[in-house]
Amino acid sequence: MRKVIKKTNDKPKSNTVKTMTSGWTTPIYVYWFIILFFIAATFYILGRSHGMIHNPATLNEEILMQANDYFNAGKSKLEQGDIEGAIADLTAVVNSGVVSGTAYIARGEAYMLLGDYKKAMADFNSAIEHDSTNVSAYYDRALLEMRLEDYDAAMIDINNALVVAATNPNPSIAMRDLYAKRGQLNLWQKNWDGAIADYTNSLARPDGTVSPDVYAERAEAYTAKGDYTDAITDYASAMQVIKEQLNGVTDAAEGERLSHDVMLYTEKSAALYLKLDNKEAALTNLAAAQQIAIALNDTDTVERLNTLITDLQESIAADKAAEEAKKGKVYTLDQLEMAKGEPTPAESTVNQ
């Protein structure tokens, strides 16, 4: 048999490849290790500088406790009117690395009070990014959008708040308040039917406290639609709620504000009675509003209402004279002219 002899250059070729591979393997891994090390070190340093990375052993104890203390202090300062102090404490919570949508919301509310709407919007956006089921975040952002007159965006956020609240109720924001706020948005956009429906839903809710503003604003929607009787009824309901509130008021300024609202609603009711041609009821309401103005020492309103009352009294007297004239009673020529609107004989002679 013929013996097969392998080529002598096969083995050296294999050794050459192996030698080349072995020569490059170690440096590549070393380089990758160095690169990854520096990347990790960079992120660690950045994280530490922004308060984002903490020792896992202390995160649940020291960091969380400090964040909670700062949050409570910030909320307390916000309630007391120390806005700058509240922002400082709530910023400490945000920078602690503890994810807290409530801290963003509270700081956003503080920025709103300062009029820094750009930062407030950023905080509300961050709160929603952290927790898309937070009713307060949507509600507060809607309030901000209303201030910015972005009513379409506000309507979207109020609708989102209503959807979330249906499955994830927030004890600090009642469904009654959400419907009332959407009613206000509809009122501002002249969607009278939508406003009336929302205010009605608000009043029908068992949760929360009834606000006289809901009745008064629904009265505005009824007035715009020409439903004057319903509007008068709502103003009367608003005043009834205010009277109940006045019983427990100890602050003089608050009592004055509520009394002013009663005066306003009473005068508006008078105007509605005039639209219904009920001058007697209008006169009664104007007189009642004037008495409140006197109690409030509002001299300008007293004088203005006095003029309206005088004019209305004269109008009522003229109406009575005209009514009696129609019944055939004898009056002076001037009275008959006032009732019938006909020229006197003397005027006829002059015209000829």
Domain, as residue range, for 304? 224-352
Q: Which among 162, 185, 209 is the end of a domain? A: 209
Residue 35 belongs to a domain: no
Last-in-domain residue among 79, 104, 131: 131
The pLDDT score that the predictor gives to residue 327 is 77
Nearest-angstrom CA–CA distance, 104 and 100:
7
Q: Any idea what the CATH number is for the domain that residue 287 is in?
A: 1.25.40
What's the pLDDT tens digit per position in 78-108? 899 999 999 999 998 888 877 678 999 999 9
Is there a domain that residue 31 lies in? no
Burial of 5 (0-12, 13-18, 19+ CB in 10 A): exposed
**Same-domain status, 250 and 184:** no
Q: Which of 4-13, 109-118, 173-182, 221-230 has the lowest mean pLDDT?
A: 4-13
My answer on whether 147 and 123 are in the same domain is: no
* CATH assignment of the domain containing 137: 1.25.40.10
How many angstroms separate the CA atoms of 241 and 229, rounded? 19
Verify that 114 and 191 share a domain, yes or no. Answer: no
Residue 204 located in a structural domain = yes
Please report whether residue 27 resides in a domain. no
Q: Are residues 123 and 160 in the same domain?
A: no
Distance CA 104, CA 259 (A): 37
DSSP letters along 270-333, please? HHHHHHTT-HHHHHHHHHHHHHHHHHTT-HHHHHHHHHHHHHHHHHHHHHHHHHHHHTT----H
pLDDT tens for residues 139-198? 999 999 999 999 999 999 999 999 999 998 888 899 999 999 999 999 999 999 999 999
Instruction: Verify that 182 and 78 share a domain, yes or no.
Output: no
Q: Is residue 82 part of a domain?
A: yes
Q: Which one of 209, 234, 265 terminates a domain? A: 209
Distance (Å, whole) CA 60 – CA 80: 30
Same-domain status, 344 and 259: yes
Residues 185 and 289 in one domain: no
291, two tokens: 């008495």
C-alpha closest to that of 154 among 109, 189, 191:
189
Please name the residue ranges forming H helices in 226-278.
Answer: 228-246, 252-275
C-alpha 330/C-alpha 324 separation (Å) is 9
Q: What is the pLDDT of residues 304-350, one digit of tens each?
A: 999 999 999 999 999 998 888 887 665 566 665 665 555 544 444 33
- Whether residues 200 and 146 share a domain: the answer is yes
Total count of domains within the chain: 3
The verdict on 258 and 287 lying in the same domain is yes
Tell me if 37 is assigned to some domain.
no
Please indicate, yes or no, whether residues 111 and 141 belong to a single structural domain of this protein.
no
Does residue 139 share a domain with residue 113?
no
Token pair for 105: 């919301």
- CB of 278 closer than 8 Å to CB of 271: no
In a domain, 15, yes or no: no
- Residue of 128, 188, 123, 215 whose CA lies nearest to 164: 128
The answer to whether residue 53 sits within a structural domain is no
Q: Are residues 327 and 352 located together in one domain of the fold?
A: yes
Query: pLDDT digits over 279-311, tens only?
Result: 999 999 999 999 999 999 999 999 999 999 999
